[in-house]
Structure 1
Amino acid sequence: MDIIGTLLWPLKWAVELVLVGWHQLFTLLGMAPAAGITWVLSIVGLVLIVRAALIPLFVRQIKSQRKMMEIAPELRKVQEKYRGKKDQLSREAMSRETMALYKKHGTTPVSSCLPLLVQMPIFFALFSVLNDVSRHAVAGIGGVGLLTPELTQEFYDARLFDVASMHVNLVTAWTQPDGQVTVIILLVLVVLMIASQFFTQLQIISKNLSPEAKTGQAYQMQKIMLYILPLAFIFSGVFFPLGVVIYWFVSNLWTMVQQFVVIREMPTPGSDAAKAREERLARKGKAIDAQGKVVPIEKYQAEQQRLVEEAERARAATPKRQQPVGKQRAKKQATKNGRPAGETGTARTS
């Protein structure tokens, strides 16, 4: 076993455990064990388990993205400070100040990518399991865990719509019986996979960014990646087995729905989505208070009035500052008031 195989072994074992568990459940419900739809639903079940486990990381991702937006003005100040300076010392100083900002606010750019980074090893483990199915079925052996030789053979023989095998990709589909139909199925799923990925990123860029975030370099990079990533998936999708394409497409659907809920209910302050949410709440007679809670609009207005009154009282209670007055000006003021200059102080109240 190579190094990559050794590193993926625990994840492959976990992937097989989840796949076999869902397969047994659907079989108990009366579905055919060797049917393609049974194994497709097992892959969908794997997506549900993985994405549900990643919800805490997703919440952390949202918080990290908010913090990154909060410190965006400070980051721009650091960048402006060292703009045009190409020497090594300036670059190191800029890096230190940037990292200090990240540490102070408890965030890093990597934090916003955690769900994707954690999911990638599982994705590769599933890819490896599906690739092993063909070899193991021919050799009459099972997987690394609960995927027994019998289940491996069932998985190998399973056909989606009684045509497309779970382990074939666009390259090998041409050599399969009814290969043209399999190619069409794979092409449709790859297109849907890419479209869902594109739409998910598009709704973030178009609706959930504040005006300040749309002026930085990170926004420009997001716009570029919006169009580059689909090209990368077109290339890689050619080599993805059908089971992996199904996994990635269903995972994208989860992400798309998840982002829709977040953008609708927890939008970035100042974004178009936040304004739309405020308008929806206003129509219902509600508003968002300073703590971000939804309250009746009467309570919100009363709180705003209270804050205004407190600010006015604070200004009224602030003692007037004594401004220094020069000797010549003091003499002029004393003469104007009909008093000797010596009886006039050297400061005036403003």
Structure 2
Amino acid sequence: MDTIFGPLYTAVSWIIVQFHKLYSLVFDEDSGWAWGLSIVSLVIVLRIALIPLFVKQIKATRNMQALQPRMKKIQERYKNDRQRQSEEMMKLYKETGTNPLSSCLPILAQSPFFLALYQVLNKIAMGREVGVLDQGLVDSARNAHIFGAPIAARFMDSADKVEALGATLVNVRVVTVIMILLMSASQFYTQRQLMTKNVDLTVKTPFMQQQKMLMYVFPIIFAVFGINFPVGVLVYWLTTNVWTLGQQMYIIKRNPTPGSLAYKQRQEKLRAKGKLKEDPAEVETKKAVETARANRQQPRRMTKAQRQAAAAQAEAKQAEAEAEANEARTEAGAETEKAAGQKPSMTKETPEGGRPARTGQQSKKKPGQRKGSQRPKHPSKK
């Protein structure tokens, strides 16, 4: 392992030594402040270098959230054919340019440096040279204490080993327990912040359930493995958790996921400051809804007499409307007859109780014409 991780041991120890020289100008070179801040600075350097990967992680996480409904349909459609299901999933990833492993890139990229730091602190605890740390620097780091606990001590170390490092077992365990609790709490809050504020709540997917499970699993994993970490490694991991929390808060505030609670809160703030231009169609819809609500009147209760009067009034209006319609139709018929050139029939006064008497000229029948079937000649015909 030393052969494989040798270059990493050198890189990690060199960064720590450079920062130790810087902090030794302010603190005692053998103090826990000088060595502890050097480890914190190592974390900051690594996390700054990993910012591009963190951006890719955010994009990959959002893409995975957006693909969850389609992935769920594929799983339901090919639930009895695992091979076809995997093929369709890979096809979906290829079409959308999504890589499921992108969300793990920052953790995977940190892992080699984390393991290298772990081994460097182990060798310091054993008093062995490592990387660019010569024996003098190893002895200085080995005797450095953070709140009374050596940076190379662990929770599970024996009392004799802790006393050899110039500390007591109680101090080591109190410091390690506090740091493990802070480390687990920061991890839990980071995951909870992601779930409650930066997830599209309008879409219920299995991805959300997985994230919710990780919110509880990760802190437990950190607590279990934390008892075997040296104090210096706990400083490293607590620092990287705090960095992740702050970085995530910044991203959620500046660029939240559409549809999430943080997105809605940001839109409201921008709207209140007048920096958000609303969609005209949305504005018109809101105005229409408000107008309808303002004009809406609740039905009033009426007595029986009032209901009867209202019904009679309605019937009178209906009868009046029908009369007007009939009159209009009669006038329209008269105008039609006049336009067609029909002459009004000449009649004498009708005797009381009898039919109207026709004139002699009109009463004569033309040959071949039936009685009562006389039609007016067309003006164009002679």
Task: Sort the TM-score into its range (normalised by shorter chain).
Answer: 0.7 to 0.9
Q: Give the aligned residue type for 2:72.
A: R
Tell me the distance in 2 between the aligned counterparts of 1:259 and 1:119: 17
Return the alpha-carbon distance in structure 2 between the equivalents of residues 272 and 242 of structure 1: 38
Identify the residue that residue 324 of structure 1 maps to in structure 2: none
Structure 2 residue aligned with 1:23, among 20, 23, 38? 20
Residue 139 (structure 2) pairs with residue 149 (structure 1)? no
Partner of 2:183: 193
Distance 1:196 1:273 in 2: 20
Structure 1 position 5, deviation (Å): 2.6
Which consecutive segments of 4 or more residues in structure 1 shift more than 3 A? Answer: 300-305
Residue 170 (structure 2) aligned to one of 173, 180, 186: 180
- Residue in 1 aligned with 2:220? 231
Measure, in 2, the Cα distance between the counterparts of 1:53 and 1:243: 21
What is the rounded CA distance, in whole Å, between the counterparts of 2:273 and 2:99 in structure 1? 38
Deviates more, 1:174-183 or 1:230-239: 174-183
Which residue of the partner structure matches residue 8 of structure 1? Answer: 5
Letter in structure 2 aligned against 1:82: Y
2:152 corresponds to which of 156, 164, 167: 167
- 1:254 and 2:238 are equivalent in the alignment: no
| 2: CA distance, partners of 1:24 / 1:211 | 50
Q: Which whole-Å CA distance do the structure 2 matches of 1:134 and 1:91 have between them?
A: 50
Cα separation, 1, equivalents of 2:43 and 2:77: 46
Q: Which residue of 2 aligns with 1:131?
A: 122
Specify which of 217, 222, 228 is matched with residue 206 of structure 2.
Answer: 217
State the one-letter code of the partner of 2:41.
Answer: G
1:100 corresponds to 2:91? yes
1:79 corresponding residue in structure 2: 75
Alpha-carbon deviations, 1:87-145, whole Å to 9, x = none? xxx2111101101111111112210111011111111110010001122x2xxx5212x
Partner of 1:342: none
- Identical counterparts, % of pairs: 38
CA RMSD of the aligned region, Å?
Answer: 1.8
In 1, Cα distance between the equivalents of 2:159 and 2:207? 42
Is contact 1:174-1:183 (8 Å) kept? no
Shift of 1:69: 2.2
Q: Normalising to structure 1: TM-score of the pair? A: 0.76
Matches within 5 A, 1:310-329: none
Distance (Å, rounded) in 2 between the aligned partners of 1:42 and 1:191:
22
2:61 equivalent among 47, 60, 65: 65
Amino acid of the structure 2 residue aligned with 1:6: T
Contact 1:173–1:180 at 8 Å: present in 2 too? no
Q: Distance in 1 between matches of 2:83 and 2:60?
A: 24
Contact 1:61–1:113 (CA under 8 A) maintained in structure 2 = yes
Contact 1:67 1:107 (C-alpha < 8 Å) held by counterparts: yes
Q: Deviations over 1:165-206 (max 9, x none)?
A: 010010116442322122111111110000000000000011
Q: Which runs of 5+ in 2 are unaligned?
A: 284-382
Give me the whole-angstrom Cα distance separating, in 2, the residues matched to 1:188 and 1:117.
26
- C-alpha contact 2:69 2:205 (8 A) present in aligned 1: no
Aligned-pair distance for 1:219? 1.4
- d(CA) in 2 for partners of 1:187 and 1:301? 53
Letter in 2 for 1:35: S
Query: Residue type matched to 1:125 in 2?
Result: A
Q: Does 1:114 align with 2:105?
A: yes
Q: Distance in 2 between matches of 1:98 and 1:130?
A: 43
The Cα shift of 1:211 comes to 2.3
CA distance in 1, matches of 2:158, 2:58: 40
CA contact (8 A) 2:158 2:169 kept: yes
| 1:36 and 1:158 in contact (8 A); partners too | yes
TM superposition score normalised by structure 2:
0.70
Taking the aligned partners of 2:103 and 2:45, their CA distance within structure 1 comes to: 21
Question: 1:172 is matched by which residue type in structure 2?
Answer: D
Contact 1:173 1:183 (C-alpha < 8 Å) held by counterparts: no
Gaps of 5+ in 1: 288-296, 306-350
SS in 2 for 1:258: helix
Q: Which amino acid aligns with 1:170?
A: F
